[in-house]
Amino acid sequence: MGTVVDTANEEACGRVDSNKKAKVIFALGGPCSGKGTQCSKIATNFGYTHLSAGDILRAEKESGSENGTMIQSMMNEGKLVPSEIIVKLIQRAMQESGSDKFLIDGFPRNEENRVAFESVIGIEPEFRLLSRKQGREDDNVDTMKKRLEVYRQLSLPVIEYYNFRAMVRKIEGEKSIEEVSEAVDAIFSSLIDEVETTY
């Protein structure tokens, strides 16, 4: 099961760009849930700037910056990069994009990430769900078992937190990419309708 988070908070969004009302969507999911495929389609169909937390971390690591060196060192030691650093890198990417609509792929992965994002960026999310199986180069039995276990232990509590607050929407993810996309499009179209009826 994958997860997409829809967030909107006008006061807090000023921290990203004081002249715009930002909308942020988090895309989360278990291994091979098709996040990347659906994120590309959402970004194209609805005009969101797609940011991958993993890509942002890798780019910083390869930049040779002070943060990059520290990230490289932590990864080499098998340690997790502190949530506040990840959030600040995401925040910088949001600011540099000049956009006011963001689709953030692969974040938050755990409760610490969620709390840090809400604290630093100041946006409280509303979840939407999507899912689909999709292969990756590092997919093998052992790797998949480890990734699924990490997902169960760290990411599911985040989903449960929002589910308890009635902020979760589910989509059947065992269908074709096109069928999943149609379901996702329906949700995003309903978000547009909600905004239009609010004003």
pLDDT level of residue 70 (50, 70, 90 thresholds)? very high
Q: What does pLDDT average to over the chain? A: 76
Q: How confident is the model at residue 4 (pLDDT cuts 50, 70, 90)?
A: very low
Q: Which residues on adjacent β-strands are paired with residue 29?
A: 2
CATH numbers and ranges of domains, the chain? 2-189 (3.40.50.300)
Q: What mean pLDDT do residues 190-199 have?
A: 56
Q: For position 9, what pLDDT does the model report?
A: 37
Kindly state the tokens that stand for 180. Answer: 């999943």
Q: In whole angstroms, give the CA distance from residue 11 to residue 61.
A: 32
How confident is the model at residue 31, as a pLDDT? 66
- pLDDT score, position 125: 58
pLDDT for the residue numbered 23: 83
| pLDDT for position 116 | 92
Q: Which of 157, 143, 178, 176 is closest to 3 using CA atoms?
A: 157
- Compute the residue count for the chain: 199
> What is the 3-state secondary structure of the chain?
CEEEEEEECHHHHCCCCCCCCCEEEEEEECCCCCHHHHHHHHHHHHCCEEEEHHHHHHHHHHHCCHHHHHHHHHHHCCCCCCHHHHHHHHHHHHHHHCCCEEEEECCCCCHHHHHHHHHHCCCCEEEEEECCCCCCCCCCHHHHHHHHHHHHHHHHHHHHHHHHCCCCCCCCCCCCHHHHHHHHHHHHHHHHHHHHHHC
Mean pLDDT of 126-141: 52
Residue with tokens 């060192």: 73
Tell me the pLDDT tens digit for each residue of 138-153: 556 676 677 677 677 7
- Give the pLDDT confidence of 12-27 residue by residue, as tens digits: 333 454 445 678 887 8
10 or 194, which is more confident?
194
Tokens, residue 67? 């943060």
Compute CA distances 179 → 133, 145, 156, whole Å. 13, 27, 25
Q: What is the mean pLDDT of residues 81-92?
A: 93
In sequence order, which residues have a C-beta less than 8 Å from that of residue 115 and are 6 or more positions away? 83
Q: What is the CA radius of gyration of the chain?
A: 17
Q: What integer is the mean pLDDT of 122-130?
A: 59
Angle at 47 between CA 193 and CA 103, to 5 degrees: 95
Dist. CA 53–CA 24, nearest whole Å:
13
Flag whether pLDDT at 61 surpasses 50.
Answer: yes
Q: For residue range 103-116, what is the model confidence (pLDDT) as tens digits?
A: 888 888 888 998 99
- Kindly tell me if the per-residue pLDDT of 191 is higher than 70: yes
